[in-house]
Copies of this chain bind each other. A is one copy, B any other.
Amino acid sequence: MKIALAQLNYIVNHFEYNKAKMVKAIERAKSDCVDLIVFSELSICGYTPHDLLERENFIANCDTAINQLSTHCKGITAIVGTPSLNPNSKGKMLYNSAYVLRDGAVVSIHHKTLLPTYDVFDEYRYFEPNSDFNIININGKRIAITICEDLWDDQPVSSAFAKNRLYKSSPMDKLKEFNPELIINIAASPFSYNNEEYRKKVFTDNINRYKIPVIYVNQIGANTELIFDGGSMVLDRKGQILEKLKSFEEDYKVIDSESLESNQPISSETISDDIRISRIYNAIVLGIRDYFKKMGFTKATLGLSGGIDSAVTLAMAVDALGRENLRVLLMPSKYSSQHSIDDAVALANNLHIQYDLISIQDTFDSFNNGLSGIFKGMDEGIAEENLQARIRGTLLMALSNKFGHLLLNTSNKSEAAVGYGTLYGDMNGALSVLGDVYKTDVFKLARFINREKEIIPINTIVKPPSAELRPNQKDSDSLPEYDLLDKILFRYIEEQKSSETIISEGFDSLTVLKTIRLVNINEYKRFQAPPILRVSSKAFGFGRRMPIAAKW
């Protein structure tokens, strides 16, 4: 039997677009004499629709699109992901389902059993877990259809206080009773830089347990914060990867289920720090590109300070959107060093970007003048530092409003963590590009961008980071060095370790306590941050929900 894996980039709620894409793949598969084509989880509507799932007409639109799609399945079977109504009077409104379409009809329906409800996942908010198990016979092949998490009953975890087994049941334990020959897993599994290894382990563990080959079809494309990297796979009953579809791109591949035993496994990359950085780079470029495309925008702006964050953001934005779609502002004050302006200009020139220079000094003076009555006799301080950042944020938004360039936020994860940024100032932006990338990784991204030639001026990379909001300011005046800071942050945020545990690993206790306190008391600031492209296992935003009003 010939099976096509269709790894496509869907737009949430765009039924015409998604359906047209799927029809095109079905027609291609027909001409390739394919018997079965497999699409990813919730493919008909895009993953994740969030609370659109609570709207009756959204579900009706899914049904209509599925019915229309089925009419294209003449002489071919398709597996499509869609929400479906739970007909029972008790329980959640919906199931997260895989529909099997053939010859204009829905021939079989399979619901998701394990509903991820942690980190960025909210599935139990909408869906009832499946409790009826069956397999399907397609062209004489006995196939167990599973949906994403259904194979993740035993999963790797990043946090110190977490379980591998989040669910009481294992769907494959039920399905194996029907003696399937093949497992198909349709998924919407978001990118994080270590998730590819997690996936391989999960599939290999399943194959070790059940001795059944796995075909895995993942979604590709970014939807606001969540980036889906694709990387669909075919694994044989030994757990060897026979085929792997592209990462960060749409892909389509036809395999022959009869040759699953005889094919040679492909060699699989071993994760290294270089590979981790290149993955993050590719994920972010996809994240920017899709945000603009799906929001209907083409042009972007940002403030170029001469520092590393705005430089790396700009270089990735150019890769994502094209240099002709970028227009940036340099906004020096009296505290800006000449080398910052020079470095910013050099970067804009290296990338052939249109830039304008607007001094903020007059406007800063004008604000200070307006406030002089109420600030009388008080020293300059944080208020004046933030004022400069807010003038810059306001100028960028003026350009954005006038010309339709979306503002890209350039804050990194280390800053976002400790609140080293100005709300309504440099925290502005439609999308946070680096908000899930620690400062030490921003430096690595810069070197990755420069791997063939100097795009980001070397001075931007080697000089000590500074916000330049007061004379001779350096980040290290108020924060630990980033090498140290990021290690503490990683242990607190990704690994969810307590201060006691981190200190017991040999970190200075005052530094740890100060850092963690800064993270905690800045929940209020991050609450108003832009959506952050997620590249780690624990990003700020939707997947990390902390109280604001609390004792810290």
Most central of A51, A369, A399, A544 by chain B CB within 10 Å = A51
| CB<8 Å pairs between A and B, sample of 8 | A54-B496, A55-B496, A91-B168, A124-B124, A360-B370, A390-B397, A397-B424, A430-B524
Most central of A295, A366, A530 by chain B CB within 10 Å = A366
CB distance from A523 to the nearest CB of B (A): 9
Write out, one digit per residue, whether chain A residues 385-401 have a CB within 8 A of any chain B CB (1) or not (0).
01100110111011101
Contact B548 A531 (CB under 8 A): yes
Contact B378 A550 (CB under 8 A): no
Write out, one digit per residue, whether chain A residues 418-431 have a CB within 8 A of any chain B CB (1) or not (0).
00000110001010
A247 within 8 A of B: no
Binds B, one of A11-19, A190-198, A207-215, A483-491: A11-19
Residue in B49, B118, B401, B423 whose beta carbon sits within 8 Å of that of A397 in the complex: B423
Known: A363-B367, A397-B424. A547 touches B48 (CB 8 A): yes
**A residues with CB within 8 A of B:** 11-14, 17, 46, 48-52, 54-57, 59, 88-93, 117-118, 122, 124-125, 159-163, 165-168, 222-224, 290-291, 294-295, 356, 358-360, 362-363, 365-367, 369-371, 373-375, 378, 381-384, 386-387, 390-391, 393-395, 397-399, 401-402, 423-424, 428, 430, 496, 498, 500, 524, 527-531, 542, 544-552
Contact B161 A424 (CB under 8 A): no
Contact B370 A362 (CB under 8 A): yes
Contact A224 B93 (CB under 8 A): no
> Please, how many angstroms separate the alpha-carbon atoms of A362 and B362 in the complex?
10
Query: Which B residues are in CB contact (< 8 Å) with A381?
Result: 401-402
Query: Which B residues are in CB contact (< 8 Å) with A548?
Result: 224, 295, 531
Query: Which B residues are in CB contact (< 8 Å) with A402?
Result: 371, 374-375, 378, 381, 383
Contact A359 B367 (CB under 8 A): no
Query: Which B residues are in CB contact (< 8 Å) with A542?
Result: 545
Contact A366 B362 (CB under 8 A): yes
Contact B124 A52 (CB under 8 A): no
> Please, how many angstroms separate the alpha-carbon atoms of A356 and B373 in the complex?
9
> Please, how many angstroms separate the alpha-carbon atoms of A71 and B124 in the complex?
39
Known: A394-B391, A544-B51. A386 touches B401 (CB 8 A): yes
Contact B49 A547 (CB under 8 A): yes
> Please, how many angstroms separate the alpha-carbon atoms of A359 and B369 in the complex?
11
Query: Which B residues are in CB contact (< 8 Å) with A387?
Result: 394, 398
Query: Which B residues are in CB contact (< 8 Å) with A498?
Result: 55-57
Contact B401 A550 (CB under 8 A): no
Contact A163 B12 (CB under 8 A): no
> Please, how many angstroms separate the alpha-carbon atoms of A402 and B530 in the complex?
25
CB distance from A293 to the nearest CB of B (A): 9
